[in-house]
Amino acid sequence: MTRPMLLDADDSVLLIVDMQTRLGASMPADAWASTRATTIMLARGADELDLPVLVTRQYPKGLGDTVPELAAVLPDASVTVDKTVFSSAAADELRDALEMTDRSQVVVCGMEAHVCVLQTAAGLRALGYTPFVVADGVCSRSPAHRDNALERLGRGGITVTNRESCLFEWLRDARHERFRTVTSLLR
């Protein structure tokens, strides 16, 4: 099966994996700040372009709720799924929510890159979806683990992308009616 190289806004879903308070506190400060900023930017872009947004929380009793600054910008129609499995693709409620979107491309950001993000992307691909993992939208406690995860994903045929590519691929044309609003997120 040929997988598209570029994102299509009409076929994309944003999946935010485990961006939680206690888990974030254990990340390197710079990586955590960058991952939060990218995820917030993509959530705002997805909202502007009417893309479905799905959010997971890994064992929220222990790892906390979705970080407040991200929760504040999530679209009203976003769906949050609590899970204990590392692969979000293995959570029945997430699979059901994803199926309801009737879209095949899943833009994945969150943490940790080498655990839940990697297993989620691999699981999505096994289910027939086309995952795109956002390199500047994922982090791990160890930068080496993050880098290893991105390398493994790329070698495994999963597209590793970045936030600007996502936004511009969703727009596709400078004449898009939301071009100024979406590109203003990059400033």
From the list 50, 115, 53, 61, the residue with the least C-alpha distance to 88 is 115
Asked if 73 and 53 count as a contact pair (C-beta separation under 8 A), the reply is no
Asked if 91 and 54 count as a contact pair (C-beta separation under 8 A), the reply is no
Calculate mean pLDDT across residues 122-135. Answer: 98
| Three-class secondary structure of residue 114 per DSSP | helix
Both structure tokens of 95: 């699979």
Domain residue spans of the chain: 9-186
Q: What is the mean pLDDT of the chain?
A: 97
Q: Does domain 9-186 have CATH number 3.40.190.10?
A: no
Residues 6+ apart with CB under 8 A from 32: 24, 139
| φ, ψ dihedrals at 162, nearest 5° | -145, 170
Percent of the chain with pLDDT over 90: 97
**Beta partners for residue 14, in sequence order:** 53, 107
CA distance 134 to 131: 10
Q: What is the pLDDT of residue 4?
A: 81
CA distance 48 to 80: 19
**Beta partners for residue 17, in sequence order:** 56, 110
Both structure tokens of 12: 């994309």
Per-residue pLDDT tens over the stretch 71-80 = 999 999 999 9
Is-above-0.85 flag for pTM?
yes
From the list 40, 28, 79, the residue with the least C-alpha distance to 163 is 40
